[in-house]
Structure 1
Amino acid sequence: MSTIDAINEGDVNFSINEKGIATVIFHHPLSNSLPGRVLKKLADTITDLGGKDEVKVIVLKSEGGRAFCAGASFDELISIKDLETGKKFFMGFANVINACRKCPKLIIGRVQGKTVGGGVGLASAVDYCYATKFSAIKLSELAIGIGPFVVGPAVERKVGTSAMSQLAINATEWQSAEWAKENGLFAEVFDNVEEMDSAVETLANKLSASNPEAMKLLKGIFWEGTENWDQLLQERAALSGELVLSDFTVNAINEFKKK
C-alpha cells in the first residue's frame, strides 16, 4: 500500500437505533490508525450527532477484534513537509477531543484492544469507557521525537498528572488494561468482547431512558475547567507540527515503519 493509498483508506460510519442510541464506528486497515481525513469525519460526526434531538447517547467504537486504535497515521506523518501542514494534522486530534468535550450527549467508549497515542486520547475524551483485558495502552509519541502534547490534557484529566507522566516518559512500554482502570481511564475491564458489549448495551439503554437535560447539565459539570481547550489544543498542535519536521522524528518514523 502506498503512502497516498494508506492516507485515503479508512472511514467513519454511524447508526441511530429506535432508542436514540447513536453508534459511531471508525476504521482503518492499519490497526485503526487515524489519518487526517478520518479525524475530520470523526469530529464532524460527533458534532452532528450531538445536535440531533433524537440522539440520547453516543457509543464510540472502532472496527475489528484486535487494536482499538494505533494513533496517528505514520504514512501521513512522514508526508508532512511544512509547519502549517503539521499543525493542521495535529489539529485533527484536537478537533476530535474538543468535539467530544463540547458534545451535549454523554459518550460511551468501547475499547476492544491495544491503544496507542491518539487512541488513548480518544479513550480519555469519552465520558465513560469500557475495555477488555487485551486493551493495553501506550503514549509512544516521545519515542518518535514528538510528545503527547495534543492528547495530553484529555489523558491527564482522566488519569492525573502522575500517571500521565509515566505514560509520556516511558514511551515504549505498554501499560495493562488493569493499570488503566486503576488510574481512572477505564471504568471496567472485561475478559472478552461479548461481556464488554453487553455492559455497553446495558449502560446505553439506561442512559437513553434518562433525562436528556439532566445528562447535558451533568456533562457540563464534568468538563468544567476545560473552557480554554480551543486555544490550548491549538498551541499544542503547533508544538507537534513543528517537532514532526525534525530530522530526529523523520528518521524515527522511518525506523518504526521498517518494523
Structure 2
Amino acid sequence: MIHESKGGYVKSEIHKGIATVEFFHPQGNSLPGSLLRELAKEIHSHGNNNEVRVILLRSGGDTNFCAGASFEELSNIKSVEEGTTFFNGFAQLINIMRKVPKLIVGRIHGKCVGGGVGLAAAVDYAIAVESAEIRLSELAIGIGPFVVGPAVERKIGLSAFTQLAIDSALWRNGDWARRKGLFAELHPNVDSMDESVLRLTNTLAASSPEATGELKKIFWKGTEHWDQLLSERAAISGRLIVTEHARAAVSKFKAKVKVS
C-alpha cells in the first residue's frame, strides 16, 4: 500500500509477520503534515493488526533518515492555531508509536534532524550506520524540541538531551548517539545494518506477541500522561513558530535549503 502526497510518500507491506513502513520526501525526507498523518495511520493500523508481529520503520533514499519538519510547511504557517495543528502531527505520531502493542525497529541510514531525532527515539530499537549523525536544530529556528523532547530525554537522559537542545548547531556522530542510548546498534555500512535489521525483525516475528506486547508496556511505563503533555508541547511550538524571530529564521533556512 502506498500513499503519495506533495512529492513524498508513505508505503507499507507485510511479509511473514513483519510490517515495513517506509516514508520518503525529496527534501531530505522531511515531514510535512500530510506525511505525518499517513505515518501515524499506517503504524496504528499495523500495530493493531493480528497478522503483524513487529513493525520496521525506515525511510527511502540513501541520504537523510529524516530532516524533521518541512521548512516549506513551516514557512506557510500564519497563525498559532495552524502552528499548533502542525506540531500536533509529531505529537500524535509519537504517541501512536508508544501505544501500539507491537515493538518498532528503526533503520537509521543517515542524518536525523529535529523531528527525525524524535522518531529515532520513539522506536523501541534503533539500528544505525556509523555515518549517521543527529542534531536537534529547533532552537536555531526560534522554537525548541518541545514535542520530541520527552521521547529523546527518555532514551538518552536529561543531560544529553540538554546538550542537544542547547547547542543546536552541533552535529553529534553515530558513536555519540550509541553511547548515549539512542542507537542500540551501530554498523560500518548499510549491508551490515540491513543484515542485523533482518535478523532482529525475523526473530521478533517468531516471538510470542503476548510477551512482546507486555514488554512494550514495561518499556513505556510512566508515559501514560503523554497524550496531554505532547499536546501542550505542540501548543508551545505553535505559539513560537509565528514570532518574528522564528519567521526570519525559517525563511533563512528555507533559502539555504533551496540553494544547496
- Report whether the alignment pairs 1:40 with 2:37: yes
CA shift for structure 1 position 224:
0.3
Q: Distance in 2 between matches of 1:165 and 1:218?
A: 28
Matched letter for residue 24 of structure 1: V
Residue 25 of structure 2 is matched in structure 1 by: 28
Q: Distance in 2 between matches of 1:72 and 1:208?
A: 32
Matched letter for residue 239 of structure 2: E
CA shift for structure 1 position 258:
2.0
- Report whether the alignment pairs 1:99 with 2:96: yes
- Report whether the alignment pairs 1:151 with 2:179: no
Select 1:70's aligned residue among 67, 71, 83. Answer: 67
Unpaired segments ≥5 residues, structure 2 = none
Residue 201 of structure 1 is matched in structure 2 by: 198
Give deviations 1:88-135, integer Å, cap 9, x for gaps: 000000011001000100000000001100000000000000000111
SS at match of 1:11: strand
- Report whether the alignment pairs 1:52 with 2:37: no
CA RMSD of aligned residues (A): 0.7
SS at match of 1:178: helix
Residue 113 of structure 2 is matched in structure 1 by: 116
- Report whether the alignment pairs 1:222 with 2:219: yes
| Identity between Structure 1 and Structure 2 (%) | 58
TM-score computed with the length of structure 2 as normaliser: 0.96
Matched letter for residue 51 of structure 2: E
Select 1:13's aligned residue among 11, 22, 39. Answer: 11
Report the more deviating stretch, 184-193 or 7-16.
7-16
SS at match of 2:13: strand
Q: Distance in 2 between matches of 1:74 and 1:181?
A: 28
Q: Distance in 2 between matches of 1:196 and 1:75?
A: 32
Residue 3 of structure 1 is matched in structure 2 by: none
Kindly report which structure 2 residues correspond to 1:111-190, keeping only aligned pairs within 5 A, or say none: 111-190=108-187
CA shift for structure 1 position 9:
2.5
Q: Distance in 2 between matches of 1:13 and 1:188?
A: 25
Give deviations 1:181-202, integer Å, cap 9, x for gaps: 0000001111111100000000
Post-superposition, which runs of at least 4 consecutive aligned residues in structure 1 deviate over 6 A? Answer: none
Q: Distance in 1 between matches of 2:93 and 2:189?
A: 27
Q: Distance in 2 between matches of 1:80 and 1:156?
A: 28
Give deviations 1:144-191, integer Å, cap 9, x for gaps: 100000000000000000000000000011000000000000011111
Number of residue pairs aligned between Structure 1 and Structure 2: 252
